[in-house]
Amino acid sequence: MMKSRVLSLTVVLAAGLWGQAGPVGGVRVSGVVSGLAWGQDLPAPGDSAAHVDLSNAMILLSRTTGAVQFQAQVGAYNIPILGAPYVTTAKTVRDLFGPVPVAYVKLPLGAHLSLEAGILPSLIGAESTFSFQNQNLERGLLWNQENDVNRGLQLDAAGGGWQASVSWNDGYFSSRYSWISAALTRTLSGSQSVTVSGGGNWSHTAFRTLATPVENNSRLLDLVYNLTGGRWTLQPYMQWTQVPANPAAGVRRGAGTWGAAALGKSKLGRGWSVAVRWEAIRAGGAGHPDAVNLLYGPGSGAWSWTVTPGWQRQHYFARLEASEVLVDRMAPGGGFGRQGKGRRQARILVEAGIEF
């Protein structure tokens, strides 16, 4: 009941603020409201072939000047993931990060130094958590190995073409503050940059929820290249992860993953654009059935393609997405469909809404 009231309240707030986005008493107010339709083949047990749902109903509040600054996101959200069963918006809000998934205070400590504290976006990875922040509707296979939102402290520094951040946090939203994350970005030119980001849990915990998977005990590293030129953006990256053995968490034998991806987007004019993503990932543990399952069984691999044409004019937007995931060396019953025998899953998604 509480979650449904939050969803309703967010929609009412969004309607009331329609046309009023911008600074209000020094606080900038913006938001997004959108709906999603989804069709797929070979749904997993408990899933279905089609879904219609609210995908976003969020208010974004920020203050970026003064001695005390802040960012906050309030409302409902959905996080579709390639190759994973659909999770409704209500369940996503309830079981992941709650109705306030991001909320932190920022204290400027000087011209090039600041401290942040609260519920923070992860420093790791090339894709953001929420669909309206990304060029594709679904999050990717590599993104699904990373943490998304964590609670803690973050120190940021910038200067001379460098940006650096280090964070002490709870990793995969575990409420166990044993993670250290960091990111270092070097601007190569006005259109190019390279980012190295990573982190790890320097302790061990058996705590598990939907938001805190077995990867909470992992260490991971990403290397991301960014290029922006004219109508094009290009973002290839590589990823490495490792989950060590942890009998208390049910991990008898550790394993890791290696992955590579390339994201691109082209603006076509008249509000139209097209975004593409390609990924390949391989899990370790081949030949060891007791190894931790990080993909579709120990030693399994997968690759995916995603194409997302989109249109936006003023506040209105719409996106269509086609995607496919292909799996090899999967564990028995670890694939797609009711029997877990399918090696391919294709999807079509449509999203439309307003941003203000």
Q: What are the tens digits of pLDDT across the range 30-43? A: 999 999 999 999 99
To the nearest whole number, what is the mean pLDDT of the chain?
92
Residue 17, pLDDT > 70, answer no
Pick the CATH number of 107-355 from 2.130.10.10, 3.40.50.1820, 2.40.160.10, 3.40.50.10880: 2.40.160.10
Q: For the residues 330-348, what does the mean pLDDT come to?
A: 96
Domain ranges of the chain: 107-355
The confidence score (pLDDT) of residue 12 equals 37
Residue 193, pLDDT > 50, answer yes
What is the distance between the alpha carbons of residues 313 and 18, in angstroms, rounded to a whole number? 15
Tokens 């606080």 -> residue: 27
* CB contact at 8 A, 284 and 256: yes
Q: Which two tokens stand for residue 160?
A: 């001379």
The confidence score (pLDDT) of residue 21 equals 53
Question: Over the stretch 147-175, which tens digit does the pLDDT of each residue have?
Answer: 999 999 999 999 999 999 999 999 999 99
The confidence score (pLDDT) of residue 142 equals 98
Q: For the residues 2-14, what does the mean pLDDT come to?
A: 41
What is the distance between the alpha carbons of residues 57 and 42, in angstroms, rounded to a whole number? 29
Residue 135, pLDDT > 90, answer yes
The confidence score (pLDDT) of residue 205 equals 85
Q: How many CB atoms lie within 10 A of CB 168?
A: 14
- Greater model confidence, 224 or 205: 224
The confidence score (pLDDT) of residue 119 equals 98
The confidence score (pLDDT) of residue 10 equals 41
The confidence score (pLDDT) of residue 78 equals 97
The confidence score (pLDDT) of residue 221 equals 98
Residue 276, pLDDT > 60, answer yes
The confidence score (pLDDT) of residue 188 equals 94
Torsion sign (Cα): 134, 135, 138, 143: negative
The confidence score (pLDDT) of residue 189 equals 85
What are the helix (H) ranges across 57-200?
Answer: 89-95
The confidence score (pLDDT) of residue 30 equals 96
β pairing state of 179-187 and 162-169: antiparallel
| Of 38-42, 229-233, 279-283, 346-350, the least confident | 229-233
What is the distance between the alpha carbons of residues 4 and 267, in angstroms, rounded to a whole number? 37
Residue 313, pLDDT > 90, answer yes
Please tell me the pTM assigned to this model: 0.90
Residue 24, pLDDT > 80, answer no
Residue 95, pLDDT > 90, answer yes
